[in-house]
Amino acid sequence: MSTDAASIQGQTSYVIIGGGLTAARAVEGIRESDADGRITVIAAEQHLPYERPPLSKGVMLGKDEEDVVFPHDRAWYDEQHVDLRLGTTATAIDTAAHTVTLSDGESLPWSRLLLATGSSVRTLEVDGADLQDIFYLRTLDDCEALKARLVAGSDVVIVGAGWIGLEVAAAAREHGCEVTVVEPQDAPLQGVVGPEVGGWFADLHRSHGVEFRFGEGVERFTGNADHKVDGVVTSAGDTIRADTVVVGVGIRPTTELAEAAGLTVDNGVVTDAALRTSVPDIYAAGDVANWRSETLGTNLRVEHWANANDGGTAAGKSMAGQDVTYDPIPFFFSDQYDAGLEYSGYVPRGLKAEVVLRGDPKSNEFMAFWLDGDRVLAGMHVNVWDTVPAIEQLVRDKTPVDRTKLADPDVPLSDVRS
């Protein structure tokens, strides 16, 4: 079927594959300039499209109701005339015929298609991995199941000291659990923030009673007669008692559909700055997209909320014919105990960036900058609010900065250029 055949009475048929924030925002982006186009959202989960950050924070803590995760309720989708296919998986894309096959066997025509398939968790394939009470945290259902296990006094072992592992550690401590984090590297988040700032995260968690086992991996899980996990055997040969295990060892972009359809895939679905893939009329955004950043002069794949939020909207606009250049500075946030942090910028993997601290980390109010030479690649604040625009400006400007001024909290960030 041609693009024209997929248009009914002159309407464009948009099909969005995915049920995360990217999908929700893409609907908004389309409707900005196309009030009449047919929009179908195909979402594998049974839930309305939702955002995930609260799953390891407010919802996990029991402070927020589950419905905070939904950017829109069902009535909104009805008002926008969106055909929501929840609990339905897209199983194949025919790029020549402009159709997508669904898990219920239906074949849907499209004139513009968005891949918003997000990420899938990496799993730990060791002995005992199939025992009960070993959790991953990606979905609302995962969150509800895990939350029920965070009972005061129980032993929770977290595998991986990345963002998910640390946020779950904080939530589990707030529920009164005994928490041990097993991490093969020497500090939390070492690949993202380096050992110095990673050490600050370790101290934050230790001060709340978390125990770390750095430099140790997981050899296997042990279980009891009921096939429930009861221990984690580490590479040091120790067994840590566990009532519940949470594995947070990273995610990978969900690219199977795109690969099978012949799209260019290289660490995600490759797109240009308008979020167009290598196949005409197919777009990608959010976690799954590896998009062209014009400011940074490289392709980027970002596994964070802001990229789903803004990238979804940008993709919707682009699909509806607006002239889009998606060019944000990558941004993410995290909340752990009473530490709120925001990070902006991009440090290429493997680059040994110099870290400049501004303020005293022990005060839990400080900033950190990552420099290549005298250029700021990225900056993060902990509880120093309203600094993101200034950090982003430094990253965008690419102008040399004076380290002494940058490190001095009394010098405004607008005056740190050398």
Interacting residues with ligand FAD (CB under 6 A)? 17-23, 42-45, 52-53, 55-56, 89-90, 116-119, 137-138, 164, 254, 257, 286-287, 303-306, 308, 332-334
Contact criterion met (CB below 8 Å) for 165 and 60 = no
User: For residues 70, 71, 77 and 79, what is the CA-based torsion angle, rounded to 10 degrees?
Assistant: 130
Query: Minimal distance in Å, beta carbon 13 to ligand FAD?
Result: 17
Distance (Å) of CA 210 to CA 167, 221, 289, 295: 12, 20, 35, 40
Query: Minimal distance in Å, beta carbon 330 to ligand FAD?
Result: 9
Nearer to ligand FAD by Cβ, of 119 and 313: the residue is 119
Nearer to ligand FAD by Cβ, of 305 and 369: the residue is 305
Residue 322 and residue 333: Cα distance in Å, rounded? 29
DSSP string for 16-35? EE--SHHHHHHHHHHHHH-S
Distance (Å) of CA 269 to CA 13, 111, 282: 22, 19, 10
Contact criterion met (CB below 8 Å) for 98 and 91 = no
Query: Minimal distance in Å, beta carbon 199 to ligand FAD?
Result: 21
Query: Minimal distance in Å, beta carbon 143 to ligand FAD?
Result: 7
For the chain, what's the residue count?
418
Contact criterion met (CB below 8 Å) for 239 and 213 = no
Nearer to ligand FAD by Cβ, of 234 and 276: the residue is 276
Nearer to ligand FAD by Cβ, of 319 and 406: the residue is 319
Contact criterion met (CB below 8 Å) for 53 and 21 = no
Query: Minimal distance in Å, beta carbon 118 to ligand FAD?
Result: 2
Nearer to ligand FAD by Cβ, of 239 and 293: the residue is 293
Nearer to ligand FAD by Cβ, of 5 and 92: the residue is 92
Structure tokens at 41: 């959202």
What three-state secondary structure class fits 283? Answer: strand
β-sheet bridge partners, residue 113:
15, 282
Residues sharing a CB contact under 8 Å with residue 256, sequence separation 6 or more, in sequence order: none
Query: Minimal distance in Å, beta carbon 133 to ligand FAD?
Result: 18
* Angle (CA) 139 142 148, round 5°: 145
Nearer to ligand FAD by Cβ, of 276 and 401: the residue is 276
Residue/partner pairs of 353-356 with CB below 8 Å, 24 or more apart:
353/194, 353/377, 353/378, 355/194, 355/196, 355/197, 356/403, 356/406, 356/407
Nearer to ligand FAD by Cβ, of 135 and 406: the residue is 135
Query: Minimal distance in Å, beta carbon 39 to ligand FAD?
Result: 15
Structure tokens at 37: 């186009």
Query: Minimal distance in Å, beta carbon 43 to ligand FAD?
Result: 5
In 107-189, alpha helices (H): 140-147, 163-174
Nearer to ligand FAD by Cβ, of 234 and 277: the residue is 277
Query: Minimal distance in Å, beta carbon 165 to ligand FAD?
Result: 11
